[in-house]
């Protein structure tokens, strides 16, 4: 939890590959590829729900493998690896800026907004709308149990945007005052379902009941290709101590469930704001097909079996 937010998690994982490549002691290309893949496998196991992480890792590893197969020298392969890392990191940051510009167009002057957790993409939409002169007020949930909403409230405060910090269970109480909900995403599945911080689905349900627009801001690398092939996005279960200290659990019959994310059905989402434009959730499958369309049949087969090979090797 020292690194938070799906985008930052992906960039940090790719930065780990960059450090691996720059400090490699490999004496030939095979050793170099092995070092990069070993680091990639470690990163792949760290955060199971953040789809952006494996997508970032694959972006780099795919280019390293291609370079090796094409006969690149060790030094050229190192350059290929570092270039791919820098490209992904830069593209992910550029995506946030584009999402802010596109999403701000859907925010109206005088809107009251609501947001959840600490999403760079959602915050950029709100920030960009504010900088365009639109007067706003934002309800921010605490986002228990780690209280990431306090980070968002402070960031809004630094910009001068009026923010009201509320407890998670007060969402429905205030929803009738809200014009638009803007949240981020840790993953978007092929059917348009959104995986985000626990509590998002309840917020979406309250918004649907109140006829409040529900917007999701998500970079394209958060869309999960595995879900096209029948895989489910894994929901990370975090330590019980985040909810309650062990000393307070006095009876062995008490257990704690602490899922970090939940799934919001596509029918509760009005639109998804990506750096490629605004899409309805039902169009997620089309965006995924576009992203995977550049792959050859061989590359697609390799992509589908990458996770399986990783599990078998461990």
Q: What is the CATH number of the domain that holds 210?
A: 3.40.50.10470
pLDDT range class, residue 296, cuts 50, 70, 90: very low
Could you give the CA distance from residue 183 to residue 198 in angstroms, rounded to a whole number? 12
Could you give the CA distance from residue 79 to residue 118 in angstroms, rounded to a whole number? 34
Same domain, 150 and 254: yes
Q: Is residue 1, in this structure, part of any structural domain at all?
A: no
Q: DSSP character for 215?
A: E
What's the predicted TM-score (pTM) here?
0.82
Q: Is residue 158, in this structure, part of any structural domain at all?
A: yes
Q: What is the mean pLDDT of residues 212-218?
A: 98
User: In this model, does residue 295 exceed pLDDT 80?
Assistant: no
Same domain, 287 and 304: no
Same domain, 170 and 57: no
State how beta strands 163-166 and 180-183 pair.
Answer: unpaired
Same domain, 106 and 134: yes
Q: Is residue 64, in this structure, part of any structural domain at all?
A: yes
pLDDT range class, residue 50, cuts 50, 70, 90: low
Q: What is the mean pLDDT of the chain?
A: 90
How much of the chain, in percent, has pLDDT values that exceed 70? 90
pLDDT range class, residue 4, cuts 50, 70, 90: low
Q: Which residue has the tokens 């958060």?
A: 222
Q: What is the mean pLDDT of residues 19-47?
A: 92
Same domain, 307 and 184: no
Could you give the CA distance from residue 103 to residue 63 in angstroms, rounded to a whole number? 32
Q: Is residue 104, in this structure, part of any structural domain at all?
A: yes
User: In this model, does residue 302 exceed pLDDT 80?
Assistant: no
Q: Is residue 212, in this structure, part of any structural domain at all?
A: yes
Q: DSSP character for 239?
A: P
What pLDDT is attached to residue 2?
72
Q: Is residue 201, in this structure, part of any structural domain at all?
A: yes
What pLDDT is attached to residue 207?
98
Same domain, 175 and 241: yes
Phi, psi dihedral angles at 244 (to 5 degrees): -155, 145
Same domain, 63 and 136: no
Is the CA virtual torsion 53, 58, 61, 67 positive or negative?
Answer: negative
More confident residue, 6 or 180: 180
Q: Which residue has the tokens 């990639």?
A: 40
Q: Is residue 256, in this structure, part of any structural domain at all?
A: yes
State how beta strands 277-279 and 194-197 pair.
Answer: unpaired
Same domain, 145 and 262: yes
Could you give the CA distance from residue 77 to residue 93 in angstroms, rounded to a whole number? 25
Same domain, 158 and 202: yes
Tens-digit pLDDT profile for residues 133-157: 999 999 999 999 999 999 999 999 9
Side-chain-side CA neighbours of residue 157 (13 Å):
9
Could you give the CA distance from residue 268 to residue 151 in angstroms, rounded to a whole number? 26
pLDDT range class, residue 111, cuts 50, 70, 90: very high
Q: What is the DSSP string of 124-186?
A: HHHHHHHHTT---EEEEE--TTTTTHHHHHHHHHHHT--EEEE-GGGHHHHHTT-SEEEE--S
Could you give the CA distance from residue 269 to residue 149 in angstroms, rounded to a whole number? 21
Same domain, 129 and 239: yes
Looking at the annotation, which residues are catalytic? 117, 186
pLDDT range class, residue 310, cuts 50, 70, 90: very low
How far apart, in Å, do the first and last CA atoms of the chain sit?
24
Same domain, 152 and 16: no
CA angle centred on 132, ends 127 and 134, rounded to 5°: 80
What pLDDT is attached to residue 292?
65
Q: What is the mean pLDDT of residues 155-181?
A: 98
Per the structure, the count of domains in the chain is 2
Q: DSSP character for 103?
A: H
Q: What is the mean pLDDT of residues 257-265?
A: 96
Same domain, 87 and 167: no
Domain containing residue 192: 99-291
Q: What is the mean pLDDT of residues 105-112?
A: 98
CATH at residue 53 = 1.20.120.420
pLDDT range class, residue 55, cuts 50, 70, 90: confident
């Amino acid at each position: 939890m020292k690194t938070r937010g799906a985008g930052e998690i992906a960039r940090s994982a790719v930065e780990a590959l960059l450090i691996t490549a720059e400090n490699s002691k490999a004496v030939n290309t095979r050793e170099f590829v092995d070092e990069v893949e070993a680091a990639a496998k470690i990163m792949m196991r760290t955060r199971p729900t953040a789809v952006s992480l494996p997508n970032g890792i694959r972006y780099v590893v795919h280019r390293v493998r291609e370079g090796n197969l094409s006969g690149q020298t060790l030094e050229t392969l190192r350059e290929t690896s570092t270039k791919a890392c820098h490209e992904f990191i830069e593209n992910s940051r550029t995506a946030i800026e584009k999402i802010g510009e596109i999403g701000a167009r859907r925010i109206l002057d005088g809107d009251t907004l609501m947001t959840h957790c600490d999403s760079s993409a959602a915050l950029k939409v709100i920030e960009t709308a504010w900088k365009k002169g639109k007067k706003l007020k934002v309800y921010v949930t605490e986002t228990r149990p780690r209280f990431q909403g306090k980070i968002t409230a402070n960031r809004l405060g630094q910009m001068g945007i009026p923010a009201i910090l509320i407890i998670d269970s007060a969402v429905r109480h205030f929803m009738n005052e809200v014009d638009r909900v803007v949240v981020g995403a840790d993953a978007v599945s092929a059917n348009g379902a959104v995986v985000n911080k626990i509590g998002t689905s309840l917020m979406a349900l309250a918004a649907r009941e109140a006829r409040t627009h529900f917007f999701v801001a998500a970079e394209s690398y958060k869309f999960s290709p595995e879900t096209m092939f029948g895989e489910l996005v894994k929901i990370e279960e975090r330590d019980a101590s985040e909810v309650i200290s062990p000393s307070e659990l006095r009876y062995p019959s008490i257990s704690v469930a602490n899922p970090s994310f939940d799934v919001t059905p596509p029918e509760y989402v009005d639109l998804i704001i990506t750096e490629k434009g605004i899409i309805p959730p039902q169009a997620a499958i089309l965006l995924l097909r576009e992203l995977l369309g550049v792959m050859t049949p061989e590359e697609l087969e390799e992509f589908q079996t990458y996770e399986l090979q990783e599990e078998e090797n461990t």
